[in-house]
Amino acid sequence: MADRATIRRLKELRAEINLHNHRYHTLDDPLVSDAEFDALMRELRAIEEADPSLVTPDSPTQRVGSAPSERFAEVVHPQPMLSLANAFDGGELAAWHKRAATLLETERFAMVCEPKIDGLAIALTYEDGRLVRGATRGDGTRGEDVTANVRTIRTVPLVLQGKPPRRMEVRGEVYFPRDAFKRMNQQRAEAGEPLFANPRNAAAGALRQLDPRITASRRLDVWVYQLGWTEGRDGPGTHAEVMAWLGGFGLRVNPEMTTVASLDEAEAYHERWLGRRAEVNYQTDGIVIKIDRRDFQRHMGFVGREPRWAIAYKFPAEQATTRLLRIEVNVGRTGTLNPYAVLEPVQVSGVTVKQATLHNEDDIRRKDIRVGDVVIVERAGEVIPQVVGPVLEFRTKAQVPYEMPERCPVCSTPVVREEGEAAHRCVNARCEAQAYERLKHFVSRGAMDIEGLGERLVGVLLEAGLIEDFPDIYRLEAEQLAALDRMGEKSAANLIAAIEASKQRPLAAIIAGLGILHVGGETAVLLAKRFGGVPRLAAAAQEDLESIDGIGPIVARAIVAHFENEGNARIVAELGAAGVRLESDETPTAATPQPFDGLRFVVTGRLETFTRSQVEAYIKERGGAVSSGVSKKTDYVVAGVDPGTKRDDAERLGVATIGEAELVELASADAP
């Protein structure tokens, strides 16, 4: 039960938020910044989450619900995007087939079997053969306009081949290819960033990025699996023919589709895919079986949001239950304490799992995972197994909440948890566990790429006292190496040569290798481009760093802090002295000029193509600033319908008033 003070606060928050909503949306005269408003919403949400019985239908938290995010324009699907009914075993599949046979008054109908891609649904609209829109499914009726992002997917044709209908919508699944997903997570792990749980979440995250350049860097892909609607001319009469027809326009259609004549054949397809699913570069969670003839499909229709003419025949879940024996902690390269579960070994889809990640203390708390619990373990995609949560039915009094260790398990230094960070950290730069992880990272492929210097050898060299930190690697001598176990003269000489060669690695690789908190491969590339050398990077101020697209305040602060540390500065100097090239041959770029650099805008009235937050984001992304009141410093007032007093203010002060179209035009003019 919530106490009186909480209930009072809850009421206050709701009243305040309602007021701000009204000021903002209706009166166009906000009293607080977006950030202040968000903080109020967060506080309210936290209270309601802690005690869901307090949620009422009129709470401001309920208004947002699961509607599409405000950041993208809303798209109303001309025809709803449907979902699929599921069958989890042969019996359920047979029941579906039988109902279909009854409705069609025949048992003789062909079906198409195809992989069920585990990504997210997309609708692509083409007009006169040109891609005009990409929209997410959203709630099936309304989705989000993600055209700019969809355009970055290389396999989505921007212009179709052949003679497509005048207007047409095709549907398919956007997904994160497994290999690209694995690579991205590796980079995130190296940068100490949280990993994406599975390719599906990662794909959704990438597709719903406000910055299409980030989407582009994620290498998404697409399979088209359905014709939405056409204008001008309809497609062929069967699903299989439609797919071939769409393929002819250059759309990416899965060649694994097969037409079958019977339920047995569909079962065999399912069985075959279950065995083959690991072979393909996309994640599948089942197969989809569709009745081939489109006139049959129309005849059968829908129930709710699910067509009667198709079914998802799912693969068994990649989950299992087992006992959590212990929680142990290892120390990462940047000193983060990573808790992991030691499990009673269990088979999860054919693989024995003995350990699973637990992320951090908050995650353990949130899921309420306790030592001794029976837990659900999941293997999602390529990611290390995870503990999904406890099976509370098996909980006894013996299981108590977990506490993170107060000291580093390796060097016993007290651990710290900085404000706003999820991770506990060992801050002892000389911690042996960190040294090992840092060195392993430094020599790895994404960094200095020293062939022959793998994990094992790093451990051996550390133990033998031959290296402590990066520069020591460049002081190694062939004789020292040759004297080590399992090392001959030949391999010692090879290793020395590889170490020598690494001195010429590209600047981004060196920056990535330094092990700066939050700086992985992608960020290192940005930094190398901008600064052209480690010394200039080391001297950069927080603002310089933050002005780089793709680098936020947290990363900027981490970089500054890294080079402020004397030990780190010494390492850079010693690497330079050892002959490691710390400069790139390319000239560094200045900050990319933006069309609205230095311009101040005030927005007033109702706009037609943007919501309020969209237009603000649009301006800020292009380097402009948005203020709430018109002053002499204002460069432009963007006025929509019913602009109110601000337009008068503009006139009085001689500030230019423009409309939405002019704003967009201004953005595409040459950057200053």
Please give the residue ranges that form the binding site for ligand IVH (CB under 6 A).
Answer: 82-84, 114, 116-117, 121, 173, 225-226, 288, 307, 310, 312
- Least Å from the CB of residue 275 to ligand IVH: 19
Nearer to ligand IVH, 273 or 601 (CB): 273
* Between 288 and 630, CB nearer to ligand IVH: 288
Nearer to ligand IVH, 294 or 359 (CB): 294
Closest CB to ligand IVH among 114 and 292? 114
Give dist(CA 2, CA 51) in Å, integer. Answer: 7
Q: Report phi then psi at 482, rounded to 5.
A: -60, -25
Let me know: does 294 contact 242? Beta carbons within 8 Å. yes
Distance in Å, CB of 252 to ligand IVH, minimum:
12
| Type of residue found at 255 | P
Task: Report in angstroms how near the CB of residue 225 gets to ligand IVH at its nearest.
Answer: 4
Q: Supply 152's token pair.
A: 């970055």
Nearer to ligand IVH, 199 or 307 (CB): 307
What contacts 423, CB < 8 A, 6 or more positions away?
192, 336, 337, 338, 360, 417
Q: Which residue is nearest to ligand IVH (CB)?
A: 121
- H helices then E strands: how many in the chain? 26, 24
Q: What whole-number distance in Å separates Cα of residue 505 and Cα of residue 509?
A: 6
374: its two tokens:
């029976």
Q: Which among 224, 182, 216, 217 has a CA at the least distance from the CA of 199?
A: 182
The distance of closest approach from Cβ of residue 242 to ligand IVH in the complex, given in angstroms and rounded to an integer, is 12
Lookup result for tokens 């693989």: 351
For residue 655, give both structure tokens.
């500030």
Cβ closest to ligand IVH, residue 266 vs residue 310: 310
CA gap 480, 463 in Å, rounded: 13
The question of whether 116 is a catalytic residue gets the answer yes
Find residue 486's DSSP bridge partners.
none
Q: Mapped to the 3 state alphabet, what secondary structure does 503-565 carry? A: CCCCHHHHHHHCCCCCCCHHHHHHHHHHHCEHHHHHCCCHHHHHCCCCCCHHHHHHHHHHHHC
Nearer to ligand IVH, 168 or 580 (CB): 168
Minimum CB distance to ligand IVH, residue 210 (Å): 23
Which of the residues 98, 116, 314, 529 is marked catalytic? 116
CA gap 170, 661 in Å, rounded: 30
Q: Mind spelling out the 3-state secondary structure of 248-260?
A: HCCCCECCCCEEE
Q: How far is the CB of 170 from ligand IVH (least distance, A)?
A: 12
Are the CB atoms for 62 and 48 separated by under 8 Å?
no
Least distance to ligand IVH, CB of residue 228, Å: 9
Q: Which residues are catalytic?
A: 116
